[in-house]
Amino acid sequence: MVKAQTVIQRFEEFCPQWLSMEDDISGLQVGSLDKEIKNVMVTLDIRPQVVAEAIEKKVDLIITKHAPLFRPVQMITDQDVQTKMAMDLIRHDIAVYVAHTNMDIVDGGLNDWFMEALAVPVTGYLSETHRFPMMKLAVFVPTEEAKALREVLGKAGAGVQGNYQHTSFSTTGTGRFIPVKGAQPAIGKIDEATTVQETKIEVIFPEPLKEKIVKAMVAAHPYEEVAYDLYELKNAPQTFGIGRIGELPTAISIDDFIERSKKAFGLAEIKVVFPTKTKQLIKKIAICGGSGGNFYKDALRLGADVYITGDVYYHTAHDMQSAGLTVLDPGHYIETLCKEKIVALLKSWQIENNWELEAFPSAVSTNPFTYR
Other C-beta atoms closer than 10 Å to the C-beta of 365 total: 14
Check if 107-129+241-330 and 134-236 are the same fold: no
Kindly list the distances between the CA atom of residue 325 and the CA atoms of 177, 226, 304, 305, 309, in Å, as whole numbers in the listed order: 67, 57, 8, 7, 12
H helix runs in 196-290, sequence order: 210-220, 254-265
Residues whose CB falls within 8 Å of the CB of residue 276, separated by 6 or more in sequence, listed in order: 321, 324
CB 318 within 8 A of CB 299: no
CATH code of 107-129+241-330, in short, is 3.40.1390.30
Q: Which pLDDT does position 70 carry in this prediction?
A: 79
Characterize the bridge pairing of strands 95-98 and 27-30. antiparallel
What's 2-102+336-361's CATH class? alpha beta
Region 143-159: mean pLDDT is 96
Residue pLDDT, tens place only, 17-28: 999 999 899 999
Q: Give the tens place of pLDDT for each residue, 321-362.
A: 999 999 999 999 999 999 999 999 999 999 999 999 999 999
CA distances to 37, 265, 347 from 328, rounded to whole Å, are: 41, 12, 33
Residue spans of the domains in the chain: they are: 2-102+336-361, 107-129+241-330, 134-236
- Give the pLDDT of residue 82: 87
* CATH number assigned to the domain with residue range 134-236, chosen from the 4 options 3.30.365.10, 3.90.180.10, 3.40.50.300, 3.30.70.120: 3.30.70.120
Please state, rounded to an integer, the average pLDDT across all residues of the chain: 95
pLDDT-derived band at 277, boundaries 50, 70, 90: confident
